[in-house]
Amino acid sequence: MRTLWSDFRKWWDHWSYFKRKEYIIWKETKRKGGPLVRRAKRLERLDEIRVTKEAIYSDLESGWMLGDFRISLEHVEILRDGRGRMPLSELEQIYICYRTMQNESISKF
């Protein structure tokens, strides 16, 4: 049975969560030098991540096309969904998997 206290508690938890979030963003903005500086730094980080993803993806694509390695169907499905949506860490794990295998096979000869 719902009570007034439980309704108030639910409302307070919801309200305080967003107020805390707003306060953290305000504090970070003040610490970093204003909203324009914070936005510029964030865009810079996003651009760096995008460039890194493109480089890893193109290297994987060229390695597969040149026959350096055979990519598994599981990884093909993951990469087909789009590198833009996948986290950089996941893309790096796929890259490390194939490039370390290639380096190990080259070092055996």
Annotated domain spans of the chain: 9-108
What's the CA gap between 75 and 95, in Å, rounded? 10
**Predicted local distance difference test score (pLDDT) of residue 74:** 84
Q: How confident is the model at residue 3 (pLDDT cuts 50, 70, 90)?
A: confident
Q: Residues 26-39: what's their mean pLDDT?
A: 88
CA 81 vs CA 28, 76, 86, 92: distances in Å: 34, 9, 8, 16
Q: What whole-number percentage of the chain has pLDDT above 70?
A: 89
pLDDT of 56 > 60? The answer is yes
pLDDT of residue 108: 46
pLDDT for the residue numbered 8: 92
